[in-house]
């Protein structure tokens, strides 16, 4: 396994969503102050989990989860439009780049979808954050896989 793979995956996937979602994107772990930005999306990733298939072949599986937050206002459908835009970005091919060596392509992620195992782009609405705050939250998530060679 290459020690750079986790960093390249995180950088490539967070950039993919930043490039394909119009709302302000925050990346989990970066310093932030959301008091002045009530409408935003936050990128989160679990994994990748690597499996050695043979001496030079690896598989990687990961989950991407995007938090969507919107201020409650006169536009009842705003959070649903934001969620739709984020969900559409999950269906655009995600290329993993080898950053640092001219940004060559390492792999392309495949969205895992299977109705039998409930693998899908999932959308969860949590509603209002608290009675005292006029904020709605939702998440969009899915799992991806790819194969790699060393």
Domain residue ranges in the chain: 5-149
Contact predicate 109/93, CB 8 Å: yes
Q: Predicted confidence band at 34 (pLDDT cuts at 50, 70, 90)?
A: low
Fold type of domain 5-149: STM4215-like (3.30.2000)
Helix axes 78-90, 5-20, angle to 10 degrees: 140
Tokens of 29: 């772990």
Burial 13-28 (b: 16+ CB within 10 A, else e): bbbbbeebbebebbbe
Residue 76: CA count within 13 A, CB half-sphere: 0
At 103-145, the pLDDT tens digits run 799 999 999 999 898 899 999 999 888 888 889 999 999 999 9
What value, to the nearest 5°, has the Cα angle with vertex 138 and ends 10 and 18? 35
Q: Predicted confidence band at 102 (pLDDT cuts at 50, 70, 90)?
A: low
Cα–chain center distance at 39: 17
Q: Is the pTM of this model over 0.75?
A: yes
């Amino acid at each position: 396994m290459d020690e750079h793979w986790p960093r390249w995956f995180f950088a490539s996937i967070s950039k993919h969503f930043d490039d394909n979602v119009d709302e302000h994107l925050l990346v989990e772990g970066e310093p932030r102050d959301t008091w002045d930005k009530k409408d935003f999306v936050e990128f989160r990733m679990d994994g990748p989990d690597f499996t050695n298939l043979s001496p030079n072949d690896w598989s990687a599986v990961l989950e991407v989860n995007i938090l969507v937050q919107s201020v409650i206002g006169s536009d009842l459908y705003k959070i649903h439009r934001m969620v739709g835009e984020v969900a559409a970005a999950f269906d655009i091919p995600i290329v993993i780049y080898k950053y640092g060596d001219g940004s060559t392509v390492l792999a392309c992620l495949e969205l895992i979808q299977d109705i039998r195992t409930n693998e899908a782009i999932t959308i969860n609405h949590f509603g209002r954050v608290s009675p005292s705050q006029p904020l709605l939250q939702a998440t969009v998530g899915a799992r991806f896989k790819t194969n790699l060679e060393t």
